[in-house]
């Protein structure tokens, strides 16, 4: 009887590095959430009078961002099959959905009835959503760089490259879902 000694597929150094980095990002956002709940606990009126949030429109933008996790999954699936063109197409669709999400945030800021320096609520609202928005923008730039690196005659490993981009994008999506629930739904 022959015994096979196949070893399980090892994670690449890049995968491990991105997961470790995302763990540090998780701690960063945990600090923002802790600040939000601390400020909320010491302020009797939360949010203060005059604060109006566009919950319905932002819920639609949230659904679009969540849908972008599905398109990112399709990009990773195509990349793992070695389909560079398919991966690039799905990355482009994901990026478009991300731009739509960010556009809503810009509209929210332009129409907000409060500013960052009006009160503690304004400060933490703009810090949390602003840092998240910067992470979305970073994800869009990351997708563009990944698409450029796997296009053409590059020898960049398609699967791993798109997969780590997917880790980041899914992370950004999950953080937003928690942030949306915290800021827009929990009163």
What are the domain boundaries of the chain?
A: 13-36+51-185
CATH class of 13-36+51-185: mainly alpha
Nearest one of 157, 25, 156, 161 to 91, comparing CA atoms:
161
* Cβ 79 vs Cβ 150: under 8 Å: yes
Question: 42-52, pLDDT tens digit by residue?
Answer: 998 999 998 99
pLDDT at 10 (0 to 100): 63
Q: pLDDT tens for the chain, 187 residues: list them.
A: 554 444 456 677 888 888 898 999 999 999 999 999 999 999 989 999 989 999 999 999 999 999 999 999 999 999 999 999 999 999 999 999 999 999 999 999 999 999 999 999 999 999 999 999 999 999 999 999 999 999 877 777 788 899 999 999 999 999 999 999 999 999 7
pLDDT at 154 (0 to 100): 74
Question: 100-134, pLDDT tens digit by residue?
Answer: 999 999 999 999 999 999 999 999 999 999 999 99
Half-sphere exposure of 146 (CA within 13 A, CB side): 33
Give the phi and the psi of residue 8 in degrees, each rounded to 5: -65, 155
What element of type H or E holds 99? helix 84-111
* Cβ 99 vs Cβ 71: under 8 Å: no
């Amino acid at each position: 009887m022959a015994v096979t000694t196949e070893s399980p597929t090892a994670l690449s150094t890049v995968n491990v590095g991105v997961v470790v980095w995302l763990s540090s990002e998780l701690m960063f956002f945990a600090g923002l959430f802790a600040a939000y709940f601390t400020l909320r606990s010491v302020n009797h009126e939360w949010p203060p009078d005059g604060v109006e949030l566009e919950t319905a429109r932002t819920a639609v933008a949230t659904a679009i961002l969540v849908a972008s996790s599905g398109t990112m999954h399709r990009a990773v699936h195509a990349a793992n099959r070695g389909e560079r063109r398919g991966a690039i197409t799905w990355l482009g669709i994901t990026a478009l959905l991300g731009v739509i999400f960010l556009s809503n945030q810009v509209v929210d800021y332009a129409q907000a009835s409060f500013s960052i320096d009006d009160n503690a609520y304004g400060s933490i609202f703009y810090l949390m959503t602003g840092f998240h928005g910067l992470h979305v923008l970073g994800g869009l730039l990351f997708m563009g760089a990944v698409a450029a690196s796997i296009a053409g005659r590059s020898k960049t490993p398609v699967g791993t490259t798109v997969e780590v981009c997917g880790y980041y994008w899914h992370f950004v999506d999950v953080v937003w879902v928690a942030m949306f629930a915290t800021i827009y739904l929990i009163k």
